[in-house]
Amino acid sequence: MSTVVSAPAQLKRTGLPMPLIIIGSLLLVFVCLFPFWWMGLSSIKTLRELYTIPPIWWPTMPTLDNYQKVLFESNIPRYFLNSVVVSVGSTVLALILAIFASYGFARFNFRGKPILQSFVLVGQLLPTAAIIVPLFITLRVLGLVNTYWGLILVYMILTLPLSVWMLTSYFKAIPVELEEAAIIDGASRIGVLFRITLPLSVPGLVSVLVYAFVTTWNEFIFALCFATDSSVKTLPIGLAEFSTEFNTDWGAVMAASMVMTLPIAILFLSMQRLFVGGMTAGATKG
């Protein structure tokens, strides 16, 4: 005797119609990408086309003169190197400190733990204007004004609080039983951290890495105050050098902005899947 199983009726999709979703998605993508598209077009326009009203949507005679000026006739290459050194240094240092601090908050119970966690976040809530003077005095006493180490330490202070909170949430989502089993087998706490916890936390680590790098790469105010020498100036400060009291070379500004945006775009595209997964896990697990 055979049993006939009827296929379940297909569930009807609810919500907005598919054409409306597609149109809305395309509109959102256009709004998000239009500034980058316009920046790229402006970087290959002549000065006359940049000031034409109504604007020219496509240059009649594309030129690379703006890139020639930025790459070979300005200090942008030096500022690019400075930004790489400072951003990578502060990101690595903040990530190392955040790993140990977050693991301690996630796995150990000690007196004053909630208060200490709150104090960590207080540093992120302070306005920039309130900490510029104390930081400048500290760096001047230490002799770190106009140095790589000065900017690295300042940027580490800037990104460390939120990095600790993000990683703490991610470490709490990892089952404690895995670490307890490893400890029973003879592993040390450091061994458990590096052999079990960190490999399982790669999306969270990538999220912190991208957040810290992008924040320091685009930072302007601290670099303006603590790096007045061209040997340590970063790219955001370099962009301002194309503006004078009476004129702004918008073509060079757009070309330099394209150079500045390229590393961030490469970073996001190469780590997009891990970054989105880490942000989602850190926001929904606790």
Structure tokens at 272: 């997009």
**209-254 pLDDT tens trace:** 888 999 999 888 888 888 888 888 898 888 888 777 677 778 888 8
Q: What is the pLDDT of residue 286?
A: 43
Closest by CA to 157, choosing from 107, 200, 215, 203, is 215
The pLDDT value recorded for residue 285 is 45
pLDDT at 274 (0 to 100): 65
> Which class for 44: exposed (0-12), middle (13-18), buried (19 or more C-beta within 10 A)?
buried
Enumerate the β-bridge partners of residue 248.
243
- pTM of the full predicted structure? 0.80
According to CATH, the topology of domain 69-284 is MetI-like fold (1.10.3720)
Which residues, given as ranges, of the chain have pLDDT below 70? 1-15, 245, 274-286
Nearest one of 253, 234, 256 to 81, comparing CA atoms: 234
Give SS3 for 130. helix
CB atoms within 10 A of CB 199: 9
SS3 9: coil
Q: List every span in the chain annotated with CATH 1.10.3720.10.
A: 69-284
Which residue's structure tokens are 């603590």?
A: 226
pLDDT for position 251: 82
